[in-house]
Amino acid sequence: MSLLGLTFTSPLILFSLLSLPLIWWLLRLTPPRPKQEVFPPTPILEEIGQREETPAQSPWWLTLLRLLMAALVIGALAEPVWNAQDKSITGTGPVLIVLDNGWAAGPNWQERAATAEKLLSQAADDSRPTALIFSTDGAKADVTTVRAQQLLEVVKAAQPQPLPVDYTALAERIRESSVGFDTLVWLSSGLAHAGADEFVEAIDGLNIPQIVYYAPATNNLQVLTQINNAPEALVARVERPDIEGSNTGTATAFDQKGRSIASSSFEFTGEDRAAEIRFVLPVELRNEITRIAIDNNGQAGAVQLLDERFRRRRVGLVSGGKADQAQPLLSPLYYISRALNPFSEVREARDANVAQAVPQLIEENVSTMVLADIGTLPDATLEQLEKWVDSGGMLVRFAGPRLASAPDDTLVPVELRRGGRSLGGTLTWGTPQPLTKFEVNSPFEGITVPEDVEVTRQVLAEPDIDLIEKTWASLADGTPLVTASQRGQGWIVLFHVTADASWSNLPLSGVFVDMLRRIVAVSNGAIAADKTRSTTAASAGPAVEEETESVALPPLSMIDGFGSLTAPATTVRPLQIGAQSTIQISADNPPGTYGTSDAYVAINLFSEPADLSLIDSAKLPASTQKGSYQTESDFELKSWLLAAAILLLALDCLAVLWMAGALRRIPQFAAVLLVGGLTIAVAVAIPLHRAQAQESTGAAAPAAAIDFEDTLRTRLAYVITGDAQLDSLSKKGLTGLTNFIASRTSLEPGQPVGVDISKDELAFYPLLYWPITTMGTVPDDKTMARVDAFMKSGGSVLFDTRDQLQGGFGSRRISSETQRLREILLSLDIPPLEPVPDDHVLTRAFYLLSVFPGRYLEGKLWVETSEAREADAVDRPTRQGDGVSSILITSNDMAGAWAIEADGSASLPVVPPNPTQRTYAYRTGVNIVMYTLTGNYKSDQVHIPALLERLGQ
Amino acid sequence: MALTIGSAVPSETGTSVLARARERASLIPDLLIEAQRIANTVTNGWHGRRRRGNGDTFWQFRPYDQGESMTRIDWRRSARDDSVYVRDQEWEAAHTVWIWADSSPSMLFKSEAAQVSKQSRALVLALAMTEILAKSGERVGWPGITNALSSRVAAERIAAELMVATPDDDLAFPPLANIRRRSELIVISDFLEPIDTTLGRINEAAEQGIHGSLIHVVDPAEERFPYSGRTEFTDPESGNKLTFGRAETLADEYATLFKARRDALAQQCKRLGWNYIVHHSDNLASTALVALHVRLSGEALS
């Protein structure tokens, strides 16, 4: 018995619901416990006397509660089941289950398998011999019956296959079967796969007593059937079997690594079964696409794999011109390669010799070969080329003097008149001819005809009956400009002008690019690779042209039954190419890619319009029952009803207790508990919160303020060495230098800052002054890595050994400071150093300097060696060189000379005591700072007069 | 929601209600028992009765009547003119008022509508009345427990006596043994004894020449009978239990009987010239005090 999805296993028990009125009456009769009332005037009541002892009715809600309880118990005993599936197979004889696990099974496979399992367990319960055949089994289908339990395992292990379904073989097997089936269950996809009609006829002819036909909802089933890499967009055809299904959808294109490249949407209009989806993308991106899948479709048909056939073409260029092209603008190949580069891979012949170049290019799998003005070809090369064109190559030839003068040439689309003609010259009658027309059926159809293209010379075609057909573009006087003819699987295209600008200005115009693009798009296929020989035909599709030699391509990746890309299963066999005329998609060769990841062939489920349709259920035998896949498992309500009844019982007890007054104290107690708990929670939470807030505000704020300020102003920085006296001197020195810079230049640095190189962020400072002291230890590797990163990212470090009196850096005597500097630099990536040469930017960055004194005079300033000193031998005032030396080393104690006290007087005397030396020390500082800030700007500035002169001003 | 409408509450002692009684009493002006009622006793009070009599305070000069004692002549006044004057003093006498509140178990009842139990209210009324009367100089007593006291702190003393006295539960009416003629008796009770008994006791007292006032304390639940449904009624005095299936059907009949009782009491009091005041325990105690005040002083409160 079923009602609104509810099924009762023991419906008779429901009759006891009729007893509910009786229960109601009984409940009304049983008096509740009387209210106890103290009542002093009871004697007065005694005078009224005992009368009418009819019990008062219990509260209506209590009665209702109890009635509901009784109803729930009765309902539970009737064992209701939600969404129960009726027992769908009847009879006692053998059962045949046909399970469609083809490509369309993915979306509802769980339900389908669950239904099959349920049917099998029913068959097992009834001990009926059962046969299970999968729709993808084809001729291998086994119609012999076994115990249903065994088949349960089979179904549990089964997965949808990304394979086309052919019912023809199944129909044959069923006809042949000698078992007299009592029941046939067809778990179909609802799609009229190949042979479906025949299959229906077969089961009709068997006179099976019970036929059950399951079909899922197909309204979301959409498949991708055909991919066409059109000039403007990648166009895929989307088909649907169910015209009442959803009209729209989206699809996503993925690259080889599975990243989504683009998404696009499609829409079916009206009752169309097919629609188009366009991916309008730049060619480069389009060529990256290896897979297109309809979103959220979950089946193998919604995926199309793209291989080399859909990729950008490899174009080989061979020129008859001289190999050594000192002037590239005169080379014909220059224009072609510039025009082809955006959308194809251009391979120029490495060998000037045509006989070598052509085989090389063929070896490189070019799909298009451009021969610019090549007249005669060696016989062997000609033969190779002919074979290559026959097997699908696109040969594009440009005319030229050599072609025009060559004797008979077979590799031209039309017969040519020798010699060519010239227009608009002094000795010619005609005027230069403009390009007027792109033929309608040519690949050039739709390109806007340019007005400014003029042809002054061309080779002429012999008038021929099929000349018009072979013409793709023609001039105003009707003579062909581009002709083409098909040869074998390939094409031969001839431009009747040269590829350079000598015969026409066509190569200079934008339309040239469009034309080449269209031509390359026509060359629709990768050409036989030596290694894979995955020869494919010009037409897209799995049909592979036969070759003499058969080659096996190993499986690379597979589409599974749910439409996702997986690693190939072990059962997949290599794809045999050439051994058979067409590739049959089968369990051995399921859709997927075959070959290596560099060169592979994509086998798709649908390569041609699939023309899907639904099984017309009217054609099924009249006695067919229709089942629907269970969408969710049935749900037994008994236990839940009983639980609800028990809950109501508890409620009833509570209500009775409450009416008797037992719960009077409980709410107060509960309230006290609640309030107490809340108070404690709040009391604990508030201090915690406060503590956190204090922590967070306390720690973060000052650091952020410092960094922010540092970023706003340029500041000089010195390294805190740990020697307090030295650090103080560094600070004073940089303060003095800062003052000097601010007064003399437009740069106004902020207050100098001492940095701890092991902790502080260094990125804010352009120059780091690092006085070397023997105190303390050498910074550890981690710190030096920070310094290294600082220097590599553009910062400069000025090391100051301050030991000129002991010899200084770079001299033979090695003082302890120099030794320490060496230890420090040991872990740094230091380029070769040199003393500042005379023409270094440092000598001119602000002041003209020849020495770089500090407190001491003699020490040299060392910088990175600038390269190409010899090569750059031109007499220039300043050395060319990019970048700023990341390391500067001096021994002159710069800071000592710069240092000033608070009153502006110098902290230390200079050695020798020459006041001019201190000025020069400041100037040195200015030059170093300017150098670190502006780099080679100054060295460029010296060329301004020359530049201005060149500009004619 | 309270489970029961009425409940038995513990008895309240005299001192605990004394404060409340004083609070109430402070709202009421001094009470002078109507002069006509007062026996011309020798007992001296300090409150003038606004008439000539024994006392210390000057009342009036009046012309000497022949036959009066010469000693009464006020010579100083008489010397001022030709007549001879006698000096009269104001009569300052105290009246004796006996106050008694019922303390039987039936009084220990409080319904949800009332703030206090009947016993508590009765005690408050009694002590407040004592306080008022004592302030006015009357002699106040509690029959069976104290004699008539002439003291400003009579209320306190009575309250103290009540604490130590063992209340006689069976006592439904004050013992009349010590009460003299023309005394005032104030009975505060719920009068739930059989009506004939009560009427008999009242008659008895009236025959002794006692003038009385009855304050009938009624709990609102007793008046309105808000019970419904299946209810078991317990008599706190006898412990009898009475179960009714549908209490709401009793309401009308009960109201009739209850009113009949009250009418009988009122009728009797009217006949005897006694005062009869019905006081609901959900009203303020002051209402009863004011009503009694008016009756006893014979004039409306200003």
Q: Write down the mean pLDDT value for chain A.
A: 78
In a domain, A668, yes or no: no
Mutate to test the interface with A, among B197, B234, B237, B242 (most CBs of A within 10 A): B242
Contacts 24+ apart (CB under 8 A), A25-32: A27/A58, A27/A62, A27/A63, A27/A66, A27/A67, A28/A57, A28/A58, A28/A63, A29/A55, A30/A55, A30/A58, A31/A55, A31/A56, A31/A58, A31/B230, A31/B245, A32/A56, A32/A58, A32/A59, A32/A62, A32/A659, A32/B230
Q: Sort B283 into a burial class: Cβ within 10 Å, 0-12 / 13-18 / 19+.
A: middle
- Judged by average pLDDT, the poorest of A16-25, A606-615, A684-693 is A684-693
In a domain, A700, yes or no: no
User: Are A756 and A862 part of one and the same domain?
Assistant: yes
For the stretch B16-34, pLDDT in tens is 777 777 777 776 666 555 5
Looking at beta carbons, which residues of chain B come within 8 Å of A659?
Answer: 3
Which candidate from B192, B230, B258 shows the least CB-CB separation from A56? B230
The residue from A309, A327, A348 where one domain ends is A309
- The closest alpha carbon to A575, from A536, A611, A631, belongs to A536
Between A936 and A211, residue with greater pLDDT: A211
Say if CB A244 and CB A624 are below 8 A apart: no
Instruction: Please report the beta strands in A295-420, taking only residues with DSSP state E, as ranges in sequence order.
Output: 303-305, 314-319, 345-348, 368-372, 394-398
Which tokens is A678 given? 């809340």
If you ran DSSP here, which 8-state letter would residue A58 be given? Answer: P
Mean pLDDT of B193-204: 89
Q: Sort A644 into a burial class: Cβ within 10 Å, 0-12 / 13-18 / 19+.
A: middle
Mean pLDDT of B185-203: 89
Q: What local confidence, expressed as pLDDT, does residue A499 receive? A: 85
Say if CB A611 and CB A239 are below 8 A apart: yes
Please confirm whether the linkage preceding A912 is cis (ω < 30° from 0): yes
The residue from A260, A286, A309 where one domain ends is A309
Residues A500, A515: Cα–Cα separation, whole Å: 15
Tell how far CA A719 is from the center of its chain. Answer: 47
Q: How many CB pairs under 8 A join A and B?
A: 105
Residues B250, B228: Cα–Cα separation, whole Å: 9
User: Are A301 and A322 part of one and the same domain?
Assistant: no
Closest chain B residue to A50, measured at CA: B244
SS (H, E, C) B182-240: CCEEEEEECCCCCHHHHHHHHHHHHHCCCEEEEEEEECHHHHHCCCCCCEEEECCCCCC
- Using CA atoms in the order A820, A825, A827, A831, what is the torsion angle rounded to 10 degrees? -160
Mean pLDDT of A170-183: 80
User: Are A850 and A940 part of one and the same domain?
Assistant: yes
The answer to whether A759 contacts chain B (CB < 8 Å) is no
Decide if B232 and A56 are in contact by the 8 Å CB cutoff: no
Write out the H or E segment, with its range, that includes residue B58: strand B58-63
Mean pLDDT of A264-279: 85
What are A249's strand-pairing partners? A266
User: Are A577 and A495 part of one and the same domain?
Assistant: no
For the stretch A481-537, pLDDT in tens is 899 888 887 888 999 888 888 888 888 888 888 888 778 776 654 433 333 333 333
How many CB atoms sit inside 10 A of residue B94's CB?
22
- The closest alpha carbon to A715, from A774, A786, A773, A764, belongs to A764
Looking at beta carbons, which residues of chain B come within 8 Å of A47?
Answer: 257
The answer, yes or no, to whether residue A872 has pLDDT greater than 50, is no
Q: Which of A157-166, A757-766, B5-14, B257-266 has the highest mean pLDDT?
A: B257-266
Q: What local confidence, expressed as pLDDT, does residue A598 receive? A: 66
Say if CB A566 and CB A558 are below 8 A apart: yes
List CB contacts of A116: < 8 A, sequence separation 6 or more: A97, A99, A132, A155, A187
Mean pLDDT of A263-291: 83
Enumerate residues 42 to 61 of chain A having a beta carbon within 8 A of any beta carbon in chain B: 42-48, 50, 52-56
Nearest CA distance, A691 vs chain B (angstrom): 46
Nearest CA distance, B36 vs chain A (angstrom): 38
Q: What local confidence, expressed as pLDDT, does residue A697 receive? A: 45
Write out the H or E segment, with its range, that includes residue B178: none
Bridge pairing between strands B96-101 and B139-141: parallel
Say if CB A160 and CB A299 are below 8 A apart: yes
Between B230 and A3, residue with greater pLDDT: B230
Residues B263, A509: Cα–Cα separation, whole Å: 128
CA distances from A252 to A236, A267, A279, A439 (A): 11, 15, 9, 35
Mutate to test the interface with A, among B1, B3, B4 (most CBs of A within 10 A): B3
Say if CB A645 and CB A224 are below 8 A apart: no
The answer, yes or no, to whether residue B1 has pLDDT greater than 80, is no
Size of chain A, expressed as the number of residues it contains: 953
Nearest CA distance, B2 vs chain A (angstrom): 8
User: Are A242 and A329 part of one and the same domain?
Assistant: no
Tell how far CA A666 is from the center of its chain. Answer: 63
pLDDT band at residue A737 under the 50/70/90 scheme: very high
Domain of A185, CATH number, reads 3.40.50.410
Domain of A417, CATH number, reads 3.40.50.880
**CB contact burial A761-798 (16+ within 10 A = b; e otherwise):** ebebbbbbbbbbbeeeeebeeebbebbbebbeeebbbb
Q: What local confidence, expressed as pLDDT, does residue A531 receive? A: 32
List CB contacts of A861: < 8 A, sequence separation 6 or more: A835, A836, A842, A852, A888, A889, A890, A892, A924
Residues A828, A329: Cα–Cα separation, whole Å: 48
Which candidate from B7, B230, B254 shows the least CB-CB separation from A34? B230
In a domain, A905, yes or no: yes
Which candidate from B8, B232, B253 shows the least CB-CB separation from A34? B232
Q: What local confidence, expressed as pLDDT, does residue A359 receive? A: 84
Q: What local confidence, expressed as pLDDT, does residue A886 receive? A: 84
User: Are A484 and A587 part of one and the same domain?
Assistant: no
The answer, yes or no, to whether residue A579 has pLDDT greater than 50, is no
Which tokens is A803 given? 């030991």
Q: What local confidence, expressed as pLDDT, does residue A168 receive? A: 83
Mutate to test the interface with A, among B222, B244, B256, B258 (most CBs of A within 10 A): B244
Residue whose entry in the numeric block shows the structure tokens 């509960």? A670
Closest chain B residue to A663, measured at CA: B3
Nearest CA distance, A696 vs chain B (angstrom): 52
Domains and CATH numbers, chain B: 6-39+94-297 (3.40.50), 45-93 (no CATH)
Say if CB B298 and CB B32 are below 8 A apart: no
Looking at beta carbons, which residues of chain B come within 8 Å of A43?
Answer: 192, 194, 235, 238
Q: What local confidence, expressed as pLDDT, does residue B28 receive? A: 64
pLDDT band at residue B302 under the 50/70/90 scheme: very low
Residues A266, A300: Cα–Cα separation, whole Å: 19
Mean pLDDT of B165-194: 80
Chain B residues whose C-beta is within 8 A of a chain A C-beta are 3-8, 106-107, 109, 118, 190, 192, 194, 219, 221-222, 227-238, 240, 242-246, 249-250, 253-254, 257-258, 261
Q: What local confidence, expressed as pLDDT, does residue A231 receive? A: 62
Which domain range does residue A331 map to?
A: 318-522
Q: Which of A312-316, A735-739, B135-139, B234-238 has the highest mean pLDDT?
A: A735-739
Decide if A42 and B234 are in contact by the 8 Å CB cutoff: yes
Q: What local confidence, expressed as pLDDT, does residue A770 receive? A: 92
Q: What local confidence, expressed as pLDDT, does residue A542 receive? A: 38
In a domain, A951, yes or no: no
Nearest CA distance, B227 vs chain A (angstrom): 9
Q: What local confidence, expressed as pLDDT, does residue A324 receive? A: 47
SS3 A53: coil
Looking at beta carbons, which residues of chain A come within 8 Å of B7?
Answer: 38
The answer, yes or no, to whether residue A913 has pLDDT greater than 50, is yes
Decide if B194 and A46 are in contact by the 8 Å CB cutoff: no
Domain of A840, CATH number, reads 3.40.50.12140
R_g over Cα of chain A: 46
Sheet holding A95-99, edge to edge: A130-134, A95-99, A183-187, A210-214, A625-627
CA distances from A614 to A116, A197, A218 (A): 21, 11, 9
- Judged by average pLDDT, the poorest of A373-377, B148-152, B219-223, B229-233 is A373-377
Looking at beta carbons, which residues of chain B come within 8 Å of A45?
Answer: 233, 242, 244, 250, 254
Nearest CA distance, B179 vs chain A (angstrom): 30
DSSP secondary structure, A688-748, as one string: HHHHHHHHHHHHHHHHHHHHHHHHHS-EEEEE--S-HHHHHHHHHHHHHHHHHHHHHSS--
For the stretch A770-779, pLDDT in tens is 998 888 788 8
CA distances from A180 to A100, A115, A174 (A): 22, 23, 10
User: Are A817 and A888 part of one and the same domain?
Assistant: yes
Which tokens is A760 given? 């502080």
SS3 B88: strand
DSSP secondary structure, A542-556, as one string: S-----SS-EEEPEE
User: Are A384 and A504 part of one and the same domain?
Assistant: yes
Mutate to test the interface with B, among A36, A39, A57 (most CBs of B within 10 A): A39
Domain of A297, CATH number, reads 2.60.40
Nearest CA distance, B46 vs chain A (angstrom): 43
Nearest CA distance, B101 vs chain A (angstrom): 17
Mean pLDDT of B28-53: 56
The residue from A48, A82, A116 where one domain ends is A82
Which candidate from A39, A48, A661 shows the least CB-CB separation from B234? A39
Decide if B4 and A37 are in contact by the 8 Å CB cutoff: yes
Q: Tell me what percent of the residues of chain A surpass a pLDDT of 90.
A: 5
Q: What local confidence, expressed as pLDDT, does residue A859 receive? A: 84
- Judged by average pLDDT, the poorest of A21-30, A77-86, A180-189, B230-239 is A77-86
Which candidate from A36, A47, A55 shows the least CB-CB separation from B257? A47
Write out the H or E segment, with its range, that includes residue A813: none
User: Are A322 and A448 part of one and the same domain?
Assistant: yes
How many CB atoms sit inside 10 A of residue A372's CB?
26
**For chain A, what is the domain count?**
6
Decide if A45 and B250 are in contact by the 8 Å CB cutoff: yes
If you ran DSSP here, which 8-state letter would residue B273 be given? Answer: T
Q: Sort A748 into a burial class: Cβ within 10 Å, 0-12 / 13-18 / 19+.
A: exposed
Residues A66, A550: Cα–Cα separation, whole Å: 84
Bridge pairing between strands A600-603 and A592-595: antiparallel
In a domain, A693, yes or no: no
pLDDT band at residue A309 under the 50/70/90 scheme: low
pLDDT band at residue A365 under the 50/70/90 scheme: confident
Say if CB A486 and CB A200 are below 8 A apart: no
Which tokens is A809 given? 């850096």
Tell how far CA A605 is from the center of its chain. Answer: 24
User: Are A434 and A564 part of one and the same domain?
Assistant: no
Q: What local confidence, expressed as pLDDT, does residue A108 receive? A: 81
In a domain, A387, yes or no: yes
Closest chain B residue to A49, measured at CA: B242
Mean pLDDT of A540-557: 56
Which tokens is A360 given? 């090389």
Residue whose entry in the numeric block shows the structure tokens 């083409």? A484
User: Are A351 and A488 part of one and the same domain?
Assistant: yes
Which candidate from B221, B228, B234 shows the least CB-CB separation from A36? B234
Between B3 and B144, residue with greater pLDDT: B144
User: Are A491 and A365 part of one and the same domain?
Assistant: yes
Position B244: which residue type? F
Mutate to test the interface with A, among B235, B238, B250, B265 (most CBs of A within 10 A): B235
Nearest CA distance, A666 vs chain B (angstrom): 13
Nearest CA distance, B154 vs chain A (angstrom): 32
In a domain, A265, yes or no: yes
Residues B300, A324: Cα–Cα separation, whole Å: 141
- The closest alpha carbon to A320, from A397, A410, A418, A412, belongs to A397
In a domain, A534, yes or no: no
Q: What local confidence, expressed as pLDDT, does residue A80 receive? A: 79
Q: Tell me what percent of the residues of chain A surpass a pLDDT of 70.
A: 82
Between B91 and A312, residue with greater pLDDT: B91
